[in-house]
Amino acid sequence: MNNTDRLARATKELMLKEPFYGLFLITLNKVWNEKIDTAGVSKNGINMQLAINSTFWENLSPEYRVGILKHELLHIAFHHLSLRDKYKDHKLFNIAADLEINQYINRDYLPGGNYPDKISYEADLKIFMDEVKRKLDAGEYTPEEAREQQLKLPMRALFIEDFKELNLDTKAGTDYYYKELLKAQKCKPGSKGHCPFLSDLTDGNGEGNGKGGGGNSDPREPHHAHTTWKEFEDMSQAEKKLVEKQIDYQLKSVAEQVKKNRGYVPGEIKDYIDGLFNVEPPKFDWKGYLRRFIGGSVKTFTKKSRTKPSVRFEGQPGIKIKPKNNILVAIDTSGSVCNDELLEFFSEIHHMHKTGVEITVIQCDTRISSIKEYKRPEDGKIEITGRGGTSFQPVIDYYNENKRKYSCLVYFTDGEASNPDPKPRGRMLWALSERSNIDYISDFPGAKIQLN
């Protein structure tokens, strides 16, 4: 059996035991990476992928393989790679993150978890590693052969009882563990609150690479070093947000699939995933306001009605004439409008659309970059074009030239541009973001509201 087959078998077992994580694993790309010592989450464009050392994987027990797969999936699901930026001490965050997620994995499926205690596992590990070192020093192994031998026996995972001096709460979250570890790190040896095991873990190169077991003869990176996470450090905030959105989309899709098959979403991430299905309530009464603001209609639709027979054609259904408004909605996509404001704008557009009106969305910074009929994206992704300077005039000119097509113009903006001239020749509403100043447009033509 080769490593690909071993990975497929572990994936199948995870699917049978915990369908949510099994399906989530299927959505990820997997690569073999001999530059790392264990397994980890690495970058794949705006997606994440699972990188695994083949020697490490080949020599794991079937139980450990399943446990390590779930371990990496939990890091992704809990957004640990993006949360890490918010904490100054990355090595402590790595340890805190592992402390959190390992509590959601059957300890028999984690390296060392099936041993009675830490000391007995690390004693066996030290015997093995000392023998590898002896053979390396004696010239029986080349450095490459010694490393391959070292990768065959996994380092022990972190468990909450390893930090018994700290009396940590169970399943209390990464932020709680980080703060408790930070307090303990400041305690002097021998004083109350000092944790010797934590000191062993952090006596490394500043990235959580203290060995904390196996003795000095073990040169490997521990599981909690998370060396592949460094790939995400050079990404811009915009790129990181795209990665987070992609993860949320994958989690949501997997949750929908599991629920369709009468499965369940694990309790540790259920609240978060439930939140992905929630739509923010509207900040404005669009149904009532548009009814009063628009008045007339541009388009009419005919619909057959069997409750009212046709007057002209006996035995045939009657016809209802139903008016429908078509609204031109402009989005200010200039650089002064932040991502949160754009999300706010599209949330309101969604609620406008639910009132039954047709919407044409026009995106503009200093020029019009997109004109499309609004359809809520199924994957939650919003395509934004522009992000330059600001001018309202291109949209006003387009509206004036095509006024007969639209019932009115609604312009979502932060208001940071000059008063357009010539003015709109039809009904117009300015909708300012919650964080903007409505005084900026006090002399602008048309009605004005602020989203708050």
SS3 label, residue 42: strand
Taking 50 as the threshold, does the pLDDT of residue 153 lie above it? Answer: yes
Phi, psi of 311 (to 5 degrees): -75, -40
How high is the pLDDT of residue 23? 92
At 390, is the secondary structure helix, strand, or coil? coil
Domain segments of the chain: what residues? Answer: 3-275, 286-450
pLDDT grade for 215, boundaries at 50, 70 and 90:
very low
Percent of the chain with pLDDT over 70: 87
Mean pLDDT, residues 1-24 taken together: 93
**pLDDT above 50 (res 290):** yes
Radius of gyration over alpha carbons of the chain, in Å?
30
Query: What would be the CATH architecture of the domain defined by 286-450?
Result: 3-Layer(aba) Sandwich (3.40)
Q: What is the reported pLDDT for 76?
A: 94
In this predicted structure, what is the pLDDT of residue 182? 94
Does 260 or 133 have the greater pLDDT score?
Answer: 133
Instruction: Report the range out of 176-180, 255-259, 340-344 with the highest average pLDDT.
Output: 176-180
Per-residue confidence (pLDDT) for residue 208, from 0 to 100: 41
Is the per-residue pLDDT at 209 higher than 60? no
What's the pLDDT at 384?
Answer: 82
Q: In this model, does residue 237 exceed pLDDT 90?
A: no
- Nearest-angstrom CA–CA distance, 373 and 405: 13
What local confidence, expressed as pLDDT, does residue 267 receive?
A: 77
pLDDT of residue 206: 37
Residue 101, pLDDT score: 95
Position 386 scores a pLDDT of 81
Q: What angle do CA 143, 144, 148 make, to 5 degrees?
A: 115
Q: What is the pLDDT of residue 214?
A: 43
**pLDDT over 90 percentage in the chain:** 53
The overall average pLDDT reported for the chain is: 86
For the cut 70, the answer to whether the pLDDT of residue 393 exceeds it is yes
Checking if the pLDDT of 278 tops 80, the result is no
Distances (CA, A) of 351 to 297, 330, 358: 19, 15, 12
Q: Sorting pLDDT into bands at 50, 70 and 90, what band is 414? A: very high
Q: What band does 286 get if pLDDT is binned at 50, 70 and 90?
A: confident
Q: Can you give the pTM of this predicted structure? A: 0.62
* pLDDT of res. 338: 84
Contact by Cβ (8 Å): 177, 185: no
Within 10 A of 126 (CB to CB), how many other CB atoms are there? Answer: 16
In this prediction, residue 365 carries a pLDDT of: 92
pLDDT mean over 277-299: 72
> Is the backbone of residue 215 left (phi > 0), alpha (psi -120 to 50) or beta?
left
| pLDDT over 60 at 204, yes or no | no
Work out the pLDDT band at 51, boundaries 50, 70, 90: very high
Residue 352: pLDDT above 60? yes
Could you give the CA distance from residue 440 to residue 415 in angstroms, rounded to a whole number? 6
How far from 452 is each of 41, 350, 412, 433, 449, CA to CA, in Å?
A: 40, 16, 13, 8, 9
What integer pLDDT is reported at residue 78 of this predicted model? 93
How sure is the predictor about 47, in pLDDT bands with cuts at 50, 70 and 90?
confident
